[in-house]
Amino acid sequence: MSGFFILGFFMIVVGIPVVGSIFMKTHQRNLEFKEKQLTAFGQETAEKSAQYAAHTERLEHRVRVLERIVTDKGFDVSQQIEDLREESKTKELN
């Protein structure tokens, strides 16, 4: 047996499995990191969704109040606005 054959055999038997295991560990760590990123992104998205839902609910409540003001009492909205302007002007003068 020549020295090149022994060196080649050693590279095949020892070198390829060592390089393969290093590659596999690196790939596994990369996958774990990506999984943690996705988990954090999912939690952030859930928080934002809850905030948007709460904000939408507040806006819907405000719209209901405005609808009630306009429709229930039968007031003239422009007259109410003018009355409020008059009140603010008299307060400024005092």
pLDDT 10s per residue in the chain (94 long)? 677 888 888 888 888 888 999 999 999 999 999 999 999 999 999 999 999 999 999 999 888 878 777 776 655 667 777 777 787 777 666 6
User: What are the φ/ψ torsions at residue 72 (nearest 5 degrees)?
Assistant: -70, -50
Q: Read off the DSSP letter of residue 80.
A: H
Two tokens, residue 59: 């806006």
Is the model's pTM score more than 0.85? no
CB neighbour list of residue 77: distance below 8 Å, 6 or more residues apart: 69, 70
